[in-house]
Amino acid sequence: MEVDSRRVGTQGDDLDFALLLDGLAAEREQGITIDVAYRFFSTDTRKYIVADTPGHEQYTRNMVTGASTADCALILVDARKGVLTQTRRHSYLVWLLGIRHVAVAVNKMDLVDFAEERFAEIAAEYGEFAAQLGLEDVTLIPMSALRGDNIVDASDAMPWYGGPTLMQYLEAVEVDQERMQDAPFRLPVQWVNRPSSDFRGFTGTVAGGSVAPGDRVVVLPRGQETTVDRIVTFDGDLERAVAGQAVTLTLADEIDVSRGDVIAPVEAPAQVGDQFEATVVWMADEPLLRGRTYLMRVGTKTVAATVAPIKYKLDVDTLDRIAANHLELNAIGVVNVELSEPIAFDPYVENRDTGGFILIDRITNHTVGAGLLHFALRRSHNVPWQSVEVDRAARAGAKGQQPFVVWLTGLPGAGKSSIANAVERRLHALGRHTFMLDGDNVRHGLSKDLGFSDADRAENNRRAAEVTKILTDAGLIVIAAFVSPFSADRATTRALFGEDEFLEVFVDVPPEVAVERDTKGLYAKARDGGLANLTGIGSTYEPPESPEVHLEMASLGIEAAADTIVAALEERGLL
């Protein structure tokens, strides 16, 4: 320390304590911290780990990394400068990562003459911002790190301050893992210990609550119920294990349990879902793109995850929501993600260990993002999935085919249903089991309670998509013809299916051609005022940006269009 301090010398003859928190050679030369560093100190009652994370804007990723394991956040404010954009940004990240206890150290009070008024000003300004965020436990401490005021002992220079010193605060602050003992029991299964045929133990670190032999538990996501038999450790069996302990459970029944499953109490199971809304913090140079598939690690489970729509990006400084179709390095956004299989989870706000995740690039294996699960989309989220033996693959196998969806979108009168009929005839001739869905057969039955407002259109689209999903689960090939005017709804639909089983076909006609063809007399009716909100007249159509097949109907007949689609299916190996 002394040697290095003299060499860099940013503090004259005094020791520069920032050097203690700056590690690598490169950083020492640049005079900045570029990554998270962990330091340790202890008192008579506690051991502390300090995650030192830098404050520069481009290092959101490091802040989030450091904050992810913290029980308490210490935010430094310069008494001369007050609450800065940077202070707000850090406070937001602290809130986002769910750190419940925040100490704001108002430092360099010596440079503002230890003025109570200045401290009160900062406290008021910060208090307002904290309330806006929803930070509940905030303690402001006026101090001078250089002189040691209010660090360990109360400062003589600030007799007006009656709160705790920094160390008093730290010695008393609640530890998160202890709080988590009050949560429902969770054991993400890490590794199955099977040294011989007569011992099968499920190892893991308790991620919430506590467990005892005799407890009725459910193994998620599959939902088998059983009873905890023993809690095995090297030091003997335990009568009870609590959050934070690394244990091995044995179960009363021989059921199939593997890494990635979550053992939970029957009366308070984790949720199960395969589509979520989540906050994502992006940590890679290459941006997060909608539709890309990454590996998601949540608890002890690794699954493929596809980002469906990016709902919005957050401006961390103003907390404004901004429309976005990608997230760049250090951006924070709210997205929908779809998983390759259902997982057991809790919302992040309830449990960091079963609700926090990382995203991994499948090619480079880098950790490219981190995220927080909000809730499962779709109503299925409270219902554990039944373990069924006759599954999708079995049904499709019985038909000797691979299910997929051809989704035709376009203006009313573009020729979608006619093309769909022609495609279905061709597939039928090839011996494929198919089903055609269009606006007519859905709207007359399933959706007859719906009108044509934007909300009803979205709901109609959702129902059509879910029916399509059920039909493909039945092993069928579905040809769906829907106006489906909004790209967001089409993306939601696409997100229900695997990457190679969904073919979007844009049936593209110039509006005047559609009006002229008007096979169902809709445009005439709309012109006469008998039909409000007809797409193309009273309502907008958002053309797809990158459909798998783009049919320019100005120069194509119905039969030629159907041939184009069949050729595209062959090219993808679907036929």
Partner 1 sequence: MIDRVKLTHLQRLEAEAIDVMREVVAEAENPVMLYSIGKDSSVMLHLARKAFHPAPPPFPFLHVDTTWKFQDMYRFRERMVAEHGFDLLVHVNEDGLARGINPFDSGSVVHTDVMKTEGLKQALDKYGFDAAFGGARRDEERSRAKERIFSFRSAQHRWDPKNQRPELWRLYNARHRRGESMRVFPLSNWTELDVWLYIYLEQIPIVPLYFAAERPVVMRDGTMIMVDDERMPLEAGEVPELKTVRFRTLGCYPLTGAVESSAATLPEIIQEMLLAKTSERQGRVIDHDAAASMEKKKVEGYF
Closest contact distance (angstroms) between CB of 316 and partner 1 is: 17
Task: Write out the DSSP string of 364-380.
Answer: T--EEEEEEEEEESSGG
Q: Is 428 in the site for partner 1 (CB under 8 A)?
A: no
Pairing of β 502-508 and β 405-409: parallel
- Should residue 358 be labelled a site residue for partner 1 when binding is judged by CB under 8 A? yes
For residue 387, what is the DSSP state? -
| Residue 416: partners with Cβ closer than 8 Å, 6 or more residues away | 408, 409, 410, 438, 481, 482, 483, 507
Q: Least distance to partner 1 from the beta carbon of 24, Å? A: 6
Size of the site for partner 1 (CB under 8 A): 64
Q: Binders of partner 1 among 443-462, rule CB under 8 A?
A: none
Q: Work out which of 86, 168, 203, 421 binds partner 1, going by CB under 8 A.
A: 203
- Exactly one of 272, 314, 370, 423 binds partner 1 (CB under 8 A); that residue is 370
Torsion of the alpha carbons at 108, 113, 116 and 118, rounded to the nearest 10: -60
Q: Which stretch binds partner 1 (CB under 8 A): 117-125, 200-208, 338-346, 451-459?
A: 200-208
Q: What is the identity of the amino acid at 493?
A: T
In 266-325, at which residue ranges do the beta strands (DSSP E only) sit? 271-282, 288-289, 293-298, 301-314, 321-322
Q: Please, what is the angle between helix 392-399 and helix 454-473, to 10°?
A: 70
Q: Which is nearer to partner 1, 23 or 223 (CB)?
A: 23
Cα three-residue angle 365-368-372, rounded to 5 degrees: 125
From residue 1 to residue 30, what is the string marking binding to partner 1 with x (rule CB under 8 A)? ---x------------------xxxx-x--
Q: Which one of 6, 147, 321, 366 is in contact with partner 1 (CB under 8 A)?
A: 366
Q: Does 193 bind partner 1 (CB under 8 A)?
A: yes
Is 190 an interacting residue with respect to partner 1 (CB under 8 A)? Answer: yes
86, 139, 168, 177: which one contacts partner 1 (CB under 8 A)?
177
CA 125, 126, 127, 131 torsion-angle sign = positive
Which sign, positive or negative, has the C-alpha torsion 367, 369, 372, 376? negative
3-state secondary structure of 107: strand
- Letter for the amino acid at 245? Q
Rule CB under 8 A: say whether 351 interacts with partner 1. Answer: no
**Choices 151-159, 163-171, 244-252, 319-327; region in contact with partner 1 by CB under 8 A:** 244-252
Interacting positions 42-71 with partner 1 (CB under 8 A): 42, 46-47, 49, 61-62, 64-65, 68-69
90 touching partner 1, by CB under 8 A = no
Judged by beta carbon, residue 47 or residue 379, the one nearer partner 1 is 47
Near partner 1 by CB under 8 A: residue from 244, 287, 347, 498:
244
Strands 288-289 and 326-327 come out as: antiparallel
Please enumerate in sequence order all residues whose Cβ is within 8 A of that of 199, keeping only pairs 6 or more positions apart, or say none.
Answer: 193, 250
Q: Using the minimum distance from each CB to partner 1, give the nearer residue, 74 or 115.
A: 74
Nearer to partner 1, 28 or 311 (CB): 28
Binding of partner 1 at residue 204 (CB under 8 A)? yes
Which of these is catalytic: 453, 484, 487, 555? 484
Length of the chain: 575
- Asked if 484 is an active-site residue, the reply is yes
Q: According to the 3-state scheme, what is the secondary structure of 69-98?
A: CCCEEEEEEECCCCCCHHHHHHHHHHHHCC
Q: Which two tokens stand for residue 385?
A: 């999935």
Residues at the contact surface with partner 1, assessed by CB under 8 A: 4, 23-26, 28, 34-40, 42, 46-47, 49, 61-62, 64-65, 68-69, 177-178, 181-182, 190-191, 193-195, 199, 201, 203-205, 210, 232-235, 240, 242, 244-246, 248, 259, 283, 295, 297-298, 300, 352-353, 356-358, 360, 365-367, 370
Please give the positions annotated as active site.
484
